[in-house]
Amino acid sequence: MVSNKRKNLTYLAVFVAGIIVLNILSSFFFTRIDFTSEKRYTLSDITKKELGELDESLQITVYLEGEFPAGFKRLRNATRDLLSDYRSYSNGNLRFDFVNPNQGTEEEQQQVYQELVSKGLEPTNLSVKTEEGLSQKIVFPAALVTYRGQQIPVSLFQNRIGATPEEVLNNSIQNLEYAFTSAIRKVTRGGKPRVGFTEGHGELSDLQLADALSSLQGGYEAGRVNLKDIPFAGLDKLKLLVVPKPDQPFTEAEKYKIDYFLMKGGSIFFALDNVNAELDSLRGMGSQLAFAKKLNLDDMLFRYGIRVNYDLVADMNCAQIPINVGNVSGQAQIQMVPWLFYPIFIPVSKHPLVKNLDGIKSEFASTIDTIAIPGVRKQIILSSSPFNRLLKVPNLISLQMVEQEPDPREFQSQPKPVGALLEGTFPSNFSNRPVPEGISGQGELPGKSAPAKIVVVGDGDILKNQISTQDGSPFPLGYDRYTQQQYGNKNFLLNIADFLTDDSGIIALRNKEVKMRLLDRARVRSEKLTWQFVNIVLPLFLLGAFAIAHHFYRKNKYAK
């Protein structure tokens, strides 16, 4: 007995010592095993690298705390789990907190709301069930990343037109790593990439681009550039050049500077309207002749492998516009009607530029064609719906078109491409050509560019924010003040800026997928009683049977 007792104590001592040694070793080495098929709990190498390079304290404040519906609780828990992993790989330099912005009096809450909105955090209005019924609640599914006095907002909620609540939640969760890693990279890099929006050709005004420029300020230095005046040294400082809806032709000298920028490996975003058509002109005159613009960019774009056509897309998947349908007692009667020339492009491509984005609102968009160019890869990122038809120009368009019910048989067609991404080494538009007049101090351009990227969209209005008629202030990019619908234009611009200016591949994190494994609702309804019996009655029955059998076993054993 004494020998067995000593042996048991020895085993216990060895076991305890092993636990202590294991804990000591685990404090020096960190690892985890992810058993999920899509590796949803595994951080990418890019994220680990960014976290490992933190040399000072980085604070993440998440404003997703409080009483929420189950979906938002799941998003909050997924955010907390992800940031816990981030902290493990940050060498102790990352801290995070969850804050409830709905605390305090109503006046204090409004003050907090205004402060958060001023920092770039977007609120969401929720309908929450209570004992008294439904109540409206403002939540901020967003976070603020702070590093060395600089702050960058992070949106955690990825809404999408037509998506179920489960799909919206799933998209939001699988986008978390990209959102946080991208923000951390921007806030920790000392110099922000420079983004230049061209001017001097009737492009969108500063007021029409106000929210586009403001949205980019968090991670970029965004401003206007005039190709006529900017020197080549100024172009060298830019990372991205945006051409936002020009109305006047470019000179050969200006095209030379664009070509120079591309040959050096710069990225370009062309948002072009090749057809002259505006709703304001239609309201004033009732009708308008839609005709082709002369931007003098066709030869250069063709050389790069893309062509913006001279046509208009009429799509049954479209936005609505207000129309005066009459007067009653001196009051104008305004009615919202679909306008076929304001297509809503629902991204279906799996490319990280547009994956899981909400619908993108456009105005008088044109189709594009791609041309085979050696060394240039092309991918369509935006297309119309299958319910479309094309209007060739010149053509007369009128507001009276809203009175005509579109015939679905005339709108059955293949989706038309309206946006494309081009990557690779582009041929120079000025290869074997003399340097244009007005260019000095610059020799002949190389025949091929350094690896570069171009995005072309056949509509310039996707970058235009609406303007309040009351005080002249700009609305958020993608917000429709008439229908109060928020479209995905802003996120589309931010994704383009991230993709075209970042060489680290962070945008690839948007390809991360978290598979939805939902219950079959039809089977739940049809087999409800069966599974209730299996989960409630059967365990009680088995427990009772085991108790009776055990009772008779003990009785039989000890009775003998």
* Residue 459's CATH number: 3.40.50
Q: Taking 60 as the threshold, does the pLDDT of residue 37 lie above it? A: no
At 123 the three-state DSSP class reads coil
CA dihedral over 441, 447, 427, 303, signed as positive or negative: positive
- Report the alpha-carbon distance of residue 102 to residue 460 in Å, rounded: 39
- Report the alpha-carbon distance of residue 130 to residue 122 in Å, rounded: 24
Based on the domain organization, do 359 and 497 belong to the same domain? yes
Q: Taking 70 as the threshold, does the pLDDT of residue 329 lie above it? A: no
* Residue 195: band (very low, low, confident or very high) from pLDDT cuts 50, 70, 90: very high
Residue 499 belongs to a domain: yes
List the beta bridge partners of residue 225. Answer: 198
Residue pLDDT, tens place only, 216-240: 886 788 999 999 999 999 999 999 9
Based on the domain organization, do 539 and 500 belong to the same domain? no
Based on the domain organization, do 368 and 473 belong to the same domain? yes
Residue 332 belongs to a domain: no
Residue 480 belongs to a domain: yes
Based on the domain organization, do 83 and 180 belong to the same domain? yes
Based on the domain organization, do 265 and 414 belong to the same domain? yes
Based on the domain organization, do 531 and 416 belong to the same domain? no
- Which pLDDT does position 390 carry in this prediction? 93
Beta strand segments in 58-204, E: 58-62, 94-98, 124-130, 133-139, 142-147, 150-155, 194-199
Q: Please say which residue of 186, 204, 231 terminates a domain.
A: 186
Closest by CA position to 236, among listed 262, 261, 219? 261
Based on the domain organization, do 174 and 214 belong to the same domain? no
Phi-psi region of 68 (alpha: psi -120 to 50; beta: other; left: phi over 0): beta
Residue 283 belongs to a domain: no
Based on the domain organization, do 122 and 89 belong to the same domain? yes
Cα dihedral 48→50→54→59 (10° resolution): -90
Based on the domain organization, do 115 and 236 belong to the same domain? no
Q: Taking 80 as the threshold, does the pLDDT of residue 97 lie above it? A: yes
Residue 491 belongs to a domain: yes
* Residue 82's CATH number: 3.40.30
Cα dihedral 199→205→208→212 (10° resolution): 30
262 vs 53, residue with greater confidence: 262
Q: Taking 70 as the threshold, does the pLDDT of residue 511 lie above it? A: no
Based on the domain organization, do 367 and 410 belong to the same domain? yes
Q: Taking 60 as the threshold, does the pLDDT of residue 35 lie above it? A: no
End-to-end Cα spacing for the chain: 29
Half-sphere exposure of 318 (CA within 13 A, CB side): 23
524 vs 411, residue with greater confidence: 411
- Which pLDDT does position 135 carry in this prediction? 61
Residue pLDDT, tens place only, 463-502: 999 999 888 899 989 999 988 888 999 989 988 998 998 7
Residue 398 belongs to a domain: no
Based on the domain organization, do 143 and 48 belong to the same domain? yes
Residue 176 belongs to a domain: yes
Rounded mean pLDDT of the chain? 85
Could you tell me the residue range of the domain that residue 438 belongs to?
193-277+291-311+346-390+404-506
Number of compact structural domains in the chain: 3
Rounded average pLDDT over 329-353: 86
Q: Please say which residue of 159, 186, 213 terminates a domain.
A: 186
* Residue 272: band (very low, low, confident or very high) from pLDDT cuts 50, 70, 90: very high
Residue 201 belongs to a domain: yes
Half-sphere exposure of 157 (CA within 13 A, CB side): 20
CA angle 268, 153, 189 (to 5 degrees): 60
Q: Please say which residue of 158, 186, 214 terminates a domain.
A: 186
- Which pLDDT does position 266 carry in this prediction? 94
Based on the domain organization, do 234 and 304 belong to the same domain? yes
pLDDT above 90: percentage of residues in the chain: 38
